[in-house]
Copies of this chain bind each other. A is one copy, B any other.
Amino acid sequence: MIKVVILGGGNVAQHLYTALSSQKLVDIVQCYNRKGITLHPDQNNNKIVTDLNKIVLANIYILAVSDDAIEEISTNLPFQNRFVVHTSGSVPMSTIKDTNRKGVFYPLQTFSKNTTVDFTKIPFCIEAESKDDKQLLKKLASFLSPKVYEISSEQRNILHVSAVFVNNFTNYLFSVGNDICDEHEIPFEILHPLIQETAQKIQKIIPDKAQTGPAIRNDLETIQRHLNILTDNTQKEIYQTLTRSIQSKYGKKL
């Protein structure tokens, strides 16, 4: 049985509580957050504390708090040499105060409130200082998901940059597509299946092999026609920057 304390009251804390509380081999012995928020309707109120000094003994303390709060809360923990992990994608493990054993338990996904999360599809990136702690964290993660990766703080940083490209920037391109459609009274939903297919394709073949379009074909006529259609200067600039990048990347290989 792995005894766990969850610290935090936000989305990640709530989703982790829901997922871990149904595990036979996990015992969530306590939850801490400043406001005494219940993490789940079925949660026993007696197990929620608002005072760090009342925290009981556990095998793992999960700091599911905002990036800014990790250092402070870990500093204020009134115990030593216990195993404390955070759940952040961009904060180094070393941010956790040295008085305890450190680790990271990072589920790589965007969490929204009030949506059920299927943890079996979410990769867990774990990190710890000692072999034993790593083993324990791996075990805990493997209860929730078959996808568990040992990722160093430096690699997590890199993953975070990559995620900006494949998630934040990609969503922004969707918003540009949406704006262009709106401007010409075309329902954006026509493009939904293409967007799904684009995302699914790279699960089977690497993105380099899936690249299509006028830029990689060096179809200058179509590129010029598209630039003439675009009325917004920002859209034009993005079109030109990405077209040039695609041409320079694949032009060498053609």
Residues on B with C-beta less than 8 A from A226 are 160-161, 164
Shortest CB distance A239–B (Å): 7
Residues on B with C-beta less than 8 A from A239 are 164-165, 169
Decide if A109 is an interface residue (CB 8 Å cutoff). Answer: yes
User: Which residues 104-119 in A have Cβ within 8 Å of B in the complex?
Assistant: 108-110
Contacting pair B202 A169 (CB below 8 A)? no
Contacting pair B210 A171 (CB below 8 A)? yes
Decide if A57 is an interface residue (CB 8 Å cutoff). Answer: no
Apart from A162-B181, A171-B210: 6 A-B pairs, beta carbons within 8 A? A108-B194, A149-B187, A158-B184, A165-B174, A168-B211, A238-B242
Q: Contact residues of A with B, CB < 8 Å?
A: 90, 108-110, 121-123, 125, 147, 149, 151, 154-155, 157-178, 180-181, 183-203, 206-208, 210-216, 222, 225-226, 229-230, 234, 237-239, 241-242, 245-246, 248-249
Shortest CB distance A87–B (Å): 15
Contacting pair B159 A190 (CB below 8 A)? yes
Majority secondary structure of chain A interface residues (helix, strand, loop or mixed): helix
Are A211 and B175 also in contact (CB < 8 A) when A193-B108, A197-B110, A238-B241 are?
A: yes
Contacting pair B222 A249 (CB below 8 A)? no
Residues on B with C-beta less than 8 A from A198 are 110, 166-167, 170-171, 199
Contacting pair B159 A165 (CB below 8 A)? no
Contacting pair A161 B229 (CB below 8 A)? yes
Complex CA–CA separation, A86 to B147 (angstroms): 46
Highest count of chain B CB atoms <10 Å: which of A161, A176, A189, A239: A161
Question: Which residue of B is nearest A209, CB measured?
Answer: B175
Residues on B with C-beta less than 8 A from A175 are 206-208, 211, 249
